[in-house]
A = this chain, B = another copy of it.
């Protein structure tokens, strides 16, 4: 759900120039990296969204399928665990699972050994959808990176991983309080 309308922004270079006019204390190099990251992500989500809607699901549902598949066989997780991995509240998770059960992508049942718990399990249909989405996604991703040499890919991967480690470390976890927008 949550289809995103088209995006139309000024060229990145112009945007950086405008930032420098309006806020002198800004390092243009830093701003370039940050702005590019943010824009890139939004465009990628638009691309993924086109693919998932082609398959009759939403990006939101694809996220759930990914989390289940990545958890490994037998592809089961509880709603709370799913919610944490996706960065959602338990309430939102409940509703999202409702929908996905209705679409046959997952099943929901009580854990008989501990009746407070619920087990969400991927169905074969759900796994098929995930696989189809992965195929489309990997084609897009390869296209996206086609201009990068192997060396550049290696450096990019390493640098991004380092940045990620830093933020994940400074946000040990727990309640983020932040806002939407990609």
Contact = CB atoms under 8 A, between A and B. Distances in A.
Contacts of A115: none
Nearest to A38: B41
Contact of A5 (B44, B48, B53, B175): B175
Interface residues of A, number: 99
Interface hub of A6, A30, A134 (most chain B Cβ within 10 A): A6
**Chain A interface mostly helix, strand, loop or mixed?**
helix
A36 B12 CA distance: 22
Interface of A: 1-10, 12, 15, 18-19, 21-23, 25-27, 29-34, 36-50, 52-53, 58-60, 62-63, 69-72, 83-89, 131, 134-135, 138, 141-148, 150, 152-157, 159-164, 166-168, 170-171, 173-182
